[in-house]
Structure formats: structure tokens, C-alpha cells
């Protein structure tokens, strides 16, 4: 059994298996708007492999982290804006 850990997305707790990416955790929780474009459109993961930059979120206060390239850590705080 993989270890269960907890991340906090915009104040909401998500429980996931260790080894899951932040993008997958958020998608599984039904989150589609990861960030906003300059003109205010919602954006979310597209390529899933670190190229398109569409999946960026703020992780532990560091802006512009690619959620598809970041593994969840216990207690991690994620912001979509």
C-alpha cells in the first residue's frame, strides 16, 4: 500500500498517494483552472510533460511551478492564483 499524504490546494485538503504529481492530484480532485492567462482565461495542464507551461501553479509560495513536473509532498501548499 502506497503511503497516503496530504496537500492543500487553495485551502482545500487533498489526500493522495505518494508518487503522484501535483497536476494529477488536482485533476483527480476535479480542478481544471490551474492559473489564469493574461486576459483572465482559465488554464490547465496540456502536455503533461513539462513543455507547455500551461499547468503552472504556486507551490509553497514559489510562483510558476509546473505542477505536472512536481511530485506531491506531505503538507505542500498549492495556490492557483
Partner 1 sequence: MNGAAPDVLIVGGGIVGAACAWECSLGGLKVMVVEADVPGSGATAAGMGHIVAMEDSTPEFHLTRYSQIIWNELVHEMPAGVEYLPCGTLWVAVDEEEMAGARRKQASYLGRGVPAELLDARQLAEAEPSLRSGLVGGLLVPEDSALYPPVAAQWLLTQSGAEVRRGRVVSISDSGAQLEDGTLLTAGIIVNAAGAMSSKLMPGVPVTPRKGHLVITERYPGFLRHQVVELGYLKSAHAAGGDSVALNVQPRATGQVLIGSSRQHGATHKEIDRPILSAMLRRAEEYLPGIMDLVAVRCWTGFRATTPDKLPLIGPWPGTQRVWLATGHEGLGITTGPATGRLVADLILGRTPAIPAQPYLPARCGHA
* Chain positions contacting ligand FES, by CB under 6 A: 45-48, 50-55, 66, 68
Of the pair 4, 50, the CB lying nearest ligand FES is at: 50
d(CA 58, CA 67): 9
Could you give the count of Cα atoms lying within 13 Å of 50 in the half-sphere of its Cβ?
Answer: 4
62: Cβ–Cβ under 8 A, 6 or more apart, which residues?
Answer: none
The interface with partner 1 within residues 16-75 (CB under 8 A) comprises 38, 63-64
| Least distance (Å) between residue 39 CB and partner 1 | 9
Q: Which residues contact partner 1 by CB under 8 A?
A: 38, 63-64
Amino acid at each position: 500500500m502506497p503511503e497516503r499524504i496530504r496537500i492543500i490546494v487553495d485551502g482545500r485538503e487533498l489526500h493522495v498517494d505518494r508518487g503522484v504529481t501535483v497536476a494529477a492530484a488536482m485533476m483527480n480532485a476535479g480542478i481544471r483552472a490551474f492559473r489564469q492567462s493574461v486576459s483572465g482565461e482559465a488554464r490547465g495542464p496540456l502536455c503533461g510533460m513539462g513543455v507547455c507551461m500551461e499547468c503552472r501553479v504556486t507551490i509553497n509560495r514559489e510562483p510558476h511551478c509546473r505542477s505536472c513536473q512536481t511530485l506531491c509532498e506531505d503538507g505542500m501548499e498549492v495556490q492557483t492564483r
